[in-house]
Amino acid sequence: MRIAAVVNPASANGTTARQWPGIASLIEQGGLSFETLMTEAPEHATRLTRGLLRDGCDLVISVGGDGTHNEVMNGFFVPEGPVRPEAQLAFISMGTGSDLIKTLQIPKDPAAAIKHFIAASPREVDVGKLSFTSYRGGRETRYFINIAGLGLDGDTVNRVNRTSKALGGFVSFLWGTLVSLILYRNREMAVTVDGKLIFDGPVTISAVANGRYFGGGMCIAPLAEMTDGLFDIVIMHGLSKIKLLLNLPKVYRGTHLDHPNCISLRGRRVLLQSETALLNIDGEQPGLGPVEAEILPLALRLRA
């Protein structure tokens, strides 16, 4: 088996660069021979991964935060479909939020994560395919494995990603959420699921979820499953700043779905129509709406 690690040395405020030699040693102690590729710029991980797969790589280990994992996962796909369908992906999470591994139940500790993926059997999970308005102009397509959304979460991710994140995931995202909440205004948005208009009005948060967690530990979609061929769509609408603040603990616990200002349903295709709301895709903020999402059932093989 040919194995490669795609490492973002800048993740976790540069901690990954300092810890990588020790992490690499742990992988070698697990009996794996591998090559290492370091990312140097945004989206570099996608290009590196795609090149590895085209050259016959069997297992790619993504080392970094949720944004790095998203970029590496995007390298597994081109517009026509998977680059190498039999290839596998593993995660060592070093980032601020580390929301993806919560749903997958992958340990945060690198040593434990390595033992986990070495012992794990490959399993297939769903992937989301997303079309949105890019800051570079025009429409862009990107894949996601965890959660995409428009609204307050996009504003929060944009704010958190422009800070040092030195306080860690929970505090950084909580701070970002509270500041964004103070400044945020609900966006007018039309939400269509599988061809049916579900909501049209002021939206606070709209999440198209494959995984359960975003925002540094908020359980926004507590019922989501990554193998059911369906998105969990969660729409929190018309919430005032005070109401959202009072209900924020419920969002962290995942007990908010019964709130009268929350809509929760499942579907395969989602259209979020807003030209001003910012996009969150797996903890990155690459553009804004409108957004079109479709589920690709069991499209990615994980060692998790």
User: What is the predicted pLDDT for the residue at 172?
Assistant: 61
HEC per residue, the chain: CCEEEEECCCCHHHHHHHHHHHHHHHHHHCCCCCEEEECCCCCHHHHHHHHHHHCCCCEEEEEECHHHHHHHHHCCEECCEECCCCCEEEEEECCCCCCHHHHHCCCCCHHHHHHHHHHCCEEEEEEEEEEEEECCCCEEEEEECCEEEEEHHHHHHHHHCCCCCCCCHHHHHHHHHHHHHHHCCCEEEEEEECCEEEEEEEEEEEEEECCCCECCCECCCCCCCCCCCCEEEEEEECCCHHHHHHHHHHHHHCCCCCCCCEEEEEECEEEEECCCCEEEECCECCEEEEEEEEEEEEEEEEEC
State how beta strands 187-193 and 147-151 pair.
unpaired
Q: Is 77 exposed, middle or buried (0-12, 13-18, 19+ CB in 10 A)?
A: buried
Question: Hey, where are the domains in the chain?
Answer: 3-120, 128-297
pLDDT digits (tens, 9 = 90+) for 58-94: 999 999 999 999 999 999 999 889 999 999 999 999 9
Distances (CA, A) of 281 to 35, 78, 207, 211: 28, 18, 10, 12
The number of residues making up the chain comes to 304
pLDDT of residue 26: 97
What's the burial of 166, exposed, middle or buried (CB within 10 Å: 0-12/13-18/19+)? exposed
Task: Give the strand pairing for 88-93 and 231-237.
Answer: unpaired
Residue 164 has pLDDT above 80, yes or no: no
More confidently predicted of 137 and 28: 28
Half-sphere exposure of 108 (CA within 13 A, CB side): 12
**Alpha carbons 185 and 301: distance in angstroms, whole number:** 39
Mean per-residue pLDDT for 37-55? 97
Q: Is the pLDDT of residue 34 over 70?
A: yes
Task: Give the Cα separation of 166 and 218 in Å (integer).
Answer: 19
Q: From CA 294, how far away is CA 141, in angstroms rounded?
A: 11
Ranking 99-113, 196-210, 237-251 by mean pLDDT, the lowest is: 237-251
Is the pLDDT score of 3 beyond 80? yes
pLDDT of residue 181: 66
As a whole number of Å, the end-to-end CA separation of the chain is 17
Half-sphere exposure of 4 (CA within 13 A, CB side): 19
- Span 128-297: which CATH code? 2.60.200.40
Report how far residue 219's alpha carbon sits from residue 236's, in angstroms, rounded to the nearest whole number. Answer: 13
What's the confidence (pLDDT) of residue 46? 98
Domain over 3-120 is classified CATH 3.40.50.300: no
Segment 268-277 mean pLDDT: 94
Q: What value does the mean pLDDT take over residues 196-224?
A: 95
Which of 22-31, 153-162, 219-228, 234-243 is predicted least confidently?
A: 153-162
Region 210-233: mean pLDDT is 95
pLDDT average, residue stretch 8-31: 94
The pLDDT, as a whole number, for residue 97 is: 76
Half-sphere exposure of 171 (CA within 13 A, CB side): 6
Mean pLDDT value of segment 152-168: 63
The lowest-confidence range among 42-56, 74-88, 154-168 is: 154-168
Comparing 159-173, 191-205, 222-236, the range with the smallest average pLDDT is 159-173
What is the spatial distance between Cα 263 and Cα 277, in angstroms, rounded to a whole number?
18
